[in-house]
A and B are shown apart, each in its own frame.
Chain A
């Protein structure tokens, strides 16, 4: 927009210049009607030369500004205050509340051509300087619906890809945080998103060991992830339903023989070292949008499968777990500035064991209530109260007092 405005301004300047030239010429004709025509023609020629030179300069600047217009800078800062119940603290000397920067991101996007872009997004939040996104996307001119991604990008999952600058609850649900730590992965991805059909297909080949910090793959085998979503629109009723499924399959190489199996039994068989531990799960998702007294939405996803975690010693062995979890959001917009939100989520990190046998692999049910207020398109205030409830057993006889109250101000540009 800025670029176009500048161009318009320059064109206006040229037009004004032309008007002045014409006016000057007419004035000359009127005032110096007796002067030889040659002089007037000379003056006009001189003006014409100046105009041409100005035109060249404008064209040059337009060309330079055109290059700058390909770079887009966006980002957001989330300044937050949090208060914790004692159960959330590691020691009783830890602070019970704090101000901190939850996220501070600048996203640079360079759109080299139609369908070709490069994205770089660092994060400067408190105690953290990390690279979030670093990828290139390219689509074929003959098949613009198909794009190839390469680099570090979000894993193809609804809650993972839903930006925290828009998400109605401050943090992602417990199951997603556990299954997709760090949200991103390094690899390549194909995305098919036809213009005329509300279908989206995503297929990714990933290292499979991302936890928030960049690193190379720790084994030779790559993990594979696929997701398909479809959007239904019931225009007359003001209802939209998006639904889909995703699947993940891969593995993790055990670097030593110590393995805690699905029932939390230690297996120290020598052949465990070098074996691939299965990571395999699937998920179903649905999002319903309803234009009822302003907008409202019901969103949910269920995931279940087997996951694996790398260990480095007998005291911190490799682990394999069966897990399941889900989340449900209910969101109601009040006017164009406010949103009330309730989310219930569940995560069971070890579905094979329950009660005392589960030890610390207990399940959590978390209810989060939140309110969002948009001061304008750039500023959003959020208030959230998170109330986790844990499974009780001899290791955890009571519900841990780990509720969290948060207030956030987000500035987006």
Chain B
């Protein structure tokens, strides 16, 4: 009996804790932290470390080998895939893990209820600079956006603005900061993940002039009716195996996807 106990003690001493590092998208940081907390409770041997920094930072860390998982709120770029090819001889593995609608935030007192994608583009390119031009008050539009290492910044630039941001756009670290800025600025406009939008007005978005504006709701995002819908991704260097695979499988399970809904995003399964 003593021998068995000794074997168990010695064996357990050699069982290394499962350490997984996760880095990247600030949009996904709350979601990733919730996943990690719940998973570590269920699997005490697991140690999952989650940090933000932005999608670009996460993917750069994946390429230089300092993270196991990169969270990204935009698809990986061709240039980043080329770096993975050069360093690891793989294309990387993309795991869509949640869906999100990029919400356009306005101050609660703003009369504007709806904007088209073209109007949003014109606003962020500074072609439209006064709310009066859109049917609102005679006041200058104050632009708030994310920093350029953010996947949300890149997605909004490529899918909505389709050009460069105006130099007057004030960049802020994280969607929470954008929401906070718009909350305090009567003439502000911002954008970010739906999960952070409290104390600001959600603006309806329409594809073009004349078409009905759509609010980002679970239904409109799930069925792609809301025009600014995107996937959130996990990126890995190679196909997952062992503990990493177990964790990814759990994220995609019903339990992991339930966390997606709780945090304010939309499940992929």
Which residues does A use to contact B, with CB under 8 Å?
A: 1, 4, 8, 114, 141, 162, 166, 193, 195, 198, 233, 235, 238, 240, 287, 289-291, 294-297, 331-333, 336-337, 374, 376-377
Q: Are B163 and A331 in contact (CB under 8 A)?
A: no
Do B87 and A166 touch across chains, with their CB atoms under 8 A apart?
yes
**Is B19 close to A, CB under 8 A?**
no
Q: Which chain B residues numbered 136 to 176 have a C-beta less than 8 Å away from chain A?
A: 147, 149, 158, 163-164, 173
Once the chains are docked, how many angstroms separate the CA of A351 from the CA of B231?
55
Chain B residues lying within 8 Å of A195, measured Cβ to Cβ, are 78, 158
* B23 sits at the interface (CB 8 A): no
Q: Tell whether, in the assembled complex, residue A291 and residue B163 are in contact, meaning their CB atoms are under 8 Å apart.
A: no
On chain A, the residues within 8 Å of B86 by CB distance are 162, 166
Residue of A nearest to B237 (CB): A336
Partner of A333 from the list B89, B93, B94, B149 (CB cut-off 8 Å) is B89
Q: A295 to B90, Cβ gap below 8 A?
A: yes
Could you say which interface size class chain B belongs to? 20 to 34
Kindly list chain A residues whose C-beta atoms are within 8 Å of the C-beta of B93: 238, 291
Contact B89 A297 (CB under 8 A): yes
- The answer to whether A289 and B89 have CB atoms under 8 Å apart is yes
Contact status A238-B91, CB under 8 Å: yes
**Chain B stretch 45-86: residues in CB contact (< 8 A) with chain A:** 57, 64-66, 78, 85-86
- How many A-B contacts at CB < 8 Å in the complex? 64
Indicate if the CB atoms of A336 and B65 lie closer than 8 Å: yes
CA–CA, A376 to B85, complex, Å? 17
A291 touches B239 (CB 8 A): yes
CB pair B90–A238 under 8 Å, yes or no, is: yes
Judge whether B85 and A240 touch: CB under 8 Å. yes
Chain B contact surface mostly: loop
Contact B238 A295 (CB under 8 A): yes
Q: What residues of B have a CB within 8 angstroms of the CB of A376 in the complex? A: 64-65
* A291 in contact with B91 (CB, 8 Å): yes
Closest Cβ–Cβ distance, residue B43 to chain A (whole Å): 23
On whether the beta carbons of B65 and A291 are closer than 8 Å, the reply is: no
A334 to chain B, nearest CB (A): 11
Q: Beyond the given A295-B90, A295-B237, A296-B89, could you list 15 further A-B residue pairs with CB under 8 A, ordered by the A residue number?
A: A4-B149, A4-B173, A198-B78, A233-B91, A238-B90, A238-B238, A289-B89, A291-B91, A294-B90, A295-B238, A333-B88, A336-B88, A336-B237, A337-B65, A376-B64
CB distance from A119 to the nearest CB of B (A): 15
> A167 to chain B: closest CB distance in Å?
9
> Bound state CA distance, A289 and B89, in angstroms?
6
State the CA gap A61–B239 with chains docked (Å): 45
User: Considering residues B78, B86, B90, B237, which has the most beta carbons from chain A within 10 angstroms of its beta carbon?
Assistant: B90
**What is the minimal beta-carbon distance from A362 to any residue of chain B, in angstroms?**
34
CB distance from B240 to the nearest CB of A (A): 11
For the complex of A and B, 8 pairs with smallest distance between CB atoms: A295-B89, A377-B64, A295-B90, A297-B89, A295-B88, A240-B91, A291-B90, A166-B86
Q: Contacts A1-B149, A195-B78, A289-B91 known; A294 to B238 CB distance under 8 Å?
A: yes
B238: A residues at CB distance < 8 A: 238, 291, 294-295
Quick one: closest A residue to B236, CB to CB?
A: A291
Cβ < 8 Å to A, chain B residues 84-105: 85-91, 93-94
Q: How far is the CA of A188 from the CA of B90 in the complex (A)?
A: 32
How far does the Cβ of B141 sit from chain A's closest Cβ, in whole Å? Answer: 20
> How many angstroms from the CA of A287 to the CA of B91 in the assembled complex?
12
**Chain A residues whose CB sits within 8 angstroms of the CB of B64 once the complex forms:** 376-377
B237→A238 contact, CB < 8 A: no
In the complex, which residues of chain B have a beta carbon less than 8 angstroms from the beta carbon of A166?
86-87
Residues of A within 8 A of B66 (CB): 377
A233 contacts across to B, CB distance below 8 A? 91
State the CA gap A114–B218 with chains docked (Å). 36
B62 to chain A, nearest CB (A): 10
Partner of A289, one of B78, B85, B163: B85
- Chain B residues whose C-beta falls within 8 Å of the C-beta of A289 in the assembled complex: 85, 89-91
Nearest chain A residue, comparing its CB with the CB of B56 = A1
Q: A4-B173, A336-B237 are in contact. Are A294 and B88 (CB under 8 A)?
A: yes
Interface centre among A162, A294, A331, A332 (most CB of B within 10 A): A294
